[in-house]
Amino acid sequence: MKRAGQGDTLVARRTGRTGAEGTAGGAARPARVALIGECMIELSHVAPDRLAVAYAGDAFNVAAYLARSAPPGTVDAQFVSLVGDDPYSAEMRAAWAARGVGSAHSRAVPGGKAGLYLIRTDDDGERTFHYYRSRSAARGLFGPGHPAEIDDAVADHDLVYLSGITLSVLGAAARARLLDVLDETRRRGGLVAFDGNYRPAGWPSPAAAASAMGAVLARTDIALPTLDDERAVFGDTGAADAVRRLRAAGVGEIAVKLGARGCVIADRTGEEAVPAVPGVRVVDTTAAGDAFNGGYLAARLGGAGRRAAAEAASALAARVIGHRGAFPPPDEAPPG
């Protein structure tokens, strides 16, 4: 297997960040990252007759782990969403701030409500999600009522992150508007990062998901997929298939997550396997992939090479799966 290059040009080309050095004229400013998606009320079993309440959702989880893992002063993470004006939505936004995630580009919808999901976890730590989100305020993202100034604000970021779950809550017109935002982001010199994060319940068919995701991948600089998802949507039989397809789509930086087998990182010239952290006791796999993505992007934005970023991301994900829920206690999941 040819080793992937370890250069930092993709992530550093706009901010000028190459490690400890800053941009011309002084210290580098924080990289501005917009993460687009839905945050929901999370209910998870802590006992057969007891539920814990938290606030999570894949893109928000990435934002939280990005903010948590980034070296001080290197990242300004902003979550882009729509929420309700109900008490739970207010508590949700407070939870974002507590996790270091900004909400400058999120809005409250009068009369709107937050979405809800429940998690059931089996004896092996694998989880099943049950969603109650058909009237979630976030379904209006990039729709007719979504303020146009948000499009311009998002496009002005150094990095924009989204996922297949983000796409699944949007209608066709909203997806087209989002694609325009991604095009404008790249025209201004920003980057797009994407994780397909396929959830069958969110799509009428794998083909529909493949079509929507393919349009985003044509505008993606950094792909962070999970092989199981790529197999379900695109028919990839292994990481090598996924890498070939993503390269053909024009993606320049790739990290294919393989669960307990680690990941494969790749660029346009080579690929390299990075093993998982050994001996990890799996309690709950909720947010493992999100933690990996947040940890990887934090390391890259801090100046780390691809392999070092993948190793840091794997270590963070390993800590996360040893606890129940999307977010372990802060003192038990240190940065990176």
User: For residue 142, is pLDDT > 70?
Assistant: yes
Look at residue 9 in the predicted model and tell me its pLDDT. 43
Confidence of residue 46 (pLDDT cuts 50, 70, 90): confident
Which 3-state string (H, E, C) describes 279-318?
CCCCCCCCCHHHHHHHHHHHHHHCCCCHHHHHHHHHHHHH
Section 114-124 average pLDDT: 84
| Tens-place pLDDT, residues 31-45 | 999 999 999 998 988
Residue in 8, 76, 195, 290 annotated catalytic: 290
Section 166-172 average pLDDT: 96
Q: What share of the chain has pLDDT > 70, as a percent?
A: 89
Contact 221, 252 (CB under 8 A): yes
Query: Cα(177)–Cα(119) distance, rounded to whole angstroms?
Result: 32
User: If you compute the radius of gyration of the chain from its CA atoms, what whole number of angstroms results?
Assistant: 18
Distance from chain centroid for Cα 239 = 19
Look at residue 11 in the predicted model and tell me its pLDDT. 54
Section 155-159 average pLDDT: 98
Q: Model pTM greater than 0.75?
A: yes
Look at residue 3 in the predicted model and tell me its pLDDT. 58
Residue pointed to by tokens 């997929």:
225
Closest CA to 265 of 301, 308, 320: 308
Confidence of residue 122 (pLDDT cuts 50, 70, 90): confident
Residue 290: active-site member: yes
Confidence of residue 170 (pLDDT cuts 50, 70, 90): very high
User: For residue 263, is pLDDT > 80?
Assistant: yes
Least confident of 18-27, 153-162, 217-226: 18-27
Query: Cα(288)–Cα(317) distance, rounded to whole angstroms?
Result: 5
User: For residue 332, is pLDDT > 80?
Assistant: no
Section 138-166 average pLDDT: 97
Look at residue 125 in the predicted model and tell me its pLDDT. 67
Go through 198-235 and write b for each residue having 16 or more CB atoms within 10 A of its CB, e for each that does not: bbeebbeeeeebbebbebbbebbbbbbbbbebbebbbe
Least confident of 47-56, 88-97, 220-229, 265-274: 47-56
Least confident of 7-11, 41-45, 184-188: 7-11
Query: Cα(15)–Cα(33) distance, rounded to whole angstroms?
Result: 11
Look at residue 330 in the predicted model and tell me its pLDDT. 63
Average pLDDT of the chain? 89
Q: Which domains does the chain possess?
A: 9-15+28-332 (3.40.1190.20)
Look at residue 45 in the predicted model and tell me its pLDDT. 82
Distance (Å) of CA 94 to CA 89, 102, 118 = 9, 10, 21
| Tens-place pLDDT, residues 198-238 | 999 999 999 999 999 999 999 999 999 999 999 999 999 99
Look at residue 279 in the predicted model and tell me its pLDDT. 86
